[in-house]
Amino acid sequence: MTPIQELRDPRHDRHRACRDHPDPEIFDPISPSQFAEAITVCASCPIVDSCGEWALCHREWGVWGGLLFEDGQLTEPKRSAA
Ligand code: SF4
């Protein structure tokens, strides 16, 4: 794992795959379909690993690094209707 002081905020990385995504709300998903779309974007992202580490270290919420976080903890997406 990368030391926390070496992690860069993925929101400031110009190479991130979500940079120009037309629907940024999918990264704070309220449905399984939004979560699925978000992790598809993350799967093509060149900083996917460091993004997930960032979320873990900074107690983030939502989809980071292809994973779903609540207060920096990995969680499962809600199973409500899409
Ligand atoms: S891993 Fe996902 S959330 Fe993180 S910068 Fe890349 S596309 Fe965005």
35 lines ligand 1 (CB under 6 A): no
pTM over 0.95: no
Contact by Cβ (8 Å): 51, 10? yes
Residue 6: its pLDDT value, please? Answer: 78
Contact by Cβ (8 Å): 70, 46? no
Residue 72: its pLDDT value, please? Answer: 86
Nearest CA to ligand 1 atom 5: 16
64 lines ligand 1 (CB under 6 A): yes
For the chain (82 residues), the mean pLDDT of every run of 10, in chain order, is: 80 95 96 96 96 93 96 79 46
Residue 82: its pLDDT value, please? Answer: 45
Choose which residue among 41, 49, 50, 57 to substitute to test ligand 1 binding: the one with the highest number of ligand atoms within 8 A of its C-beta. 41
